Amino acid sequence: MSRFHWRTALRLLALTFLIAMVPEANGYSPFMNNRHGSFSKAPENGTSEQLASPYLAPGGLAALGSKKANKDSFATSQGKNAFEVIYQWKVIDFLYPSLQARNNAIRSRAFIPENNLPLGVDRFKNRIFITTPRWNPGVPATLSYLPLPVQDQSLPLIPYPDWSFHTTPQNADCSKLVSVYRIYVDECDRLWVLDAGVIDTLTNLQQVCPPKLLAFNLHTDELLFS
């Protein structure tokens, strides 16, 4: 792997230890001390975008926030919760190939809707990427995306790149995605994915696969590195 790839990989790993705090942000995440984190994307046409990490909003809603501002308006919003909710769910759902497949997953407890909680988030062009680590049983896919701009705030998550890349916790296939925590879109339009390889973190922690780092080409959704 080239030196550039190593630098990008190290930046991704460093992200797992950094949490940016937003003053007066409402919401709860067990990893963020009653606040939610944020990060800024590069300016585009004079406008920067700041994304809030997923968090649990009042009323039990899982939410994603976004704020766009030029320099002047950003300065006036310091200390205020100026994020706009772009997606929110009472219970997270996934886009299955068919209703029957979804019902079968629920019956077999491969999908337990209330056990799915978002953590990592990043954006590339007209898609926003979201991680759902396997903290509890019943998480069918650990990396997903949603379209932008938003048409419905409670869309089901679309597994990324597709369902075939996600292993089942039982008899885990370590060449596939197991439990993704953090993601990062770099300047070369690659999505870096940090997979911890653990399941049932909050109930019965099991290291079913070694941790791994993957990279996807966001123009083709092809796996570049694993």
pLDDT for the residue numbered 24: 32
pTM over 0.85: no
C-alpha 215/C-alpha 42 separation (Å) is: 20
Mean pLDDT calculated for residue range 142-163: 94
pLDDT for the residue numbered 5: 53
Structure tokens at 223: 């796996």
The amino acid present at 98, given as its one-letter code, is: S
Give me the half-sphere count of Cα atoms (radius 13 Å) on the Cβ side of residue 187: 7
Structure tokens at 33: 């001390």
- Distances, alpha carbon 131 to alpha carbons 73, 97, 122, 141, in Å: 30, 20, 9, 9
Question: Please, what is the Cα angle at 135 between 134 and 136, to 5 degrees?
Answer: 90
Beta-bridge partners for 48: 69
Q: Which residue's structure tokens are 């049932």? A: 200
Note the pLDDT tens digit of each residue in 78-135.
555 567 788 888 999 999 999 999 999 999 999 999 999 999 999 999 999 999 999 9
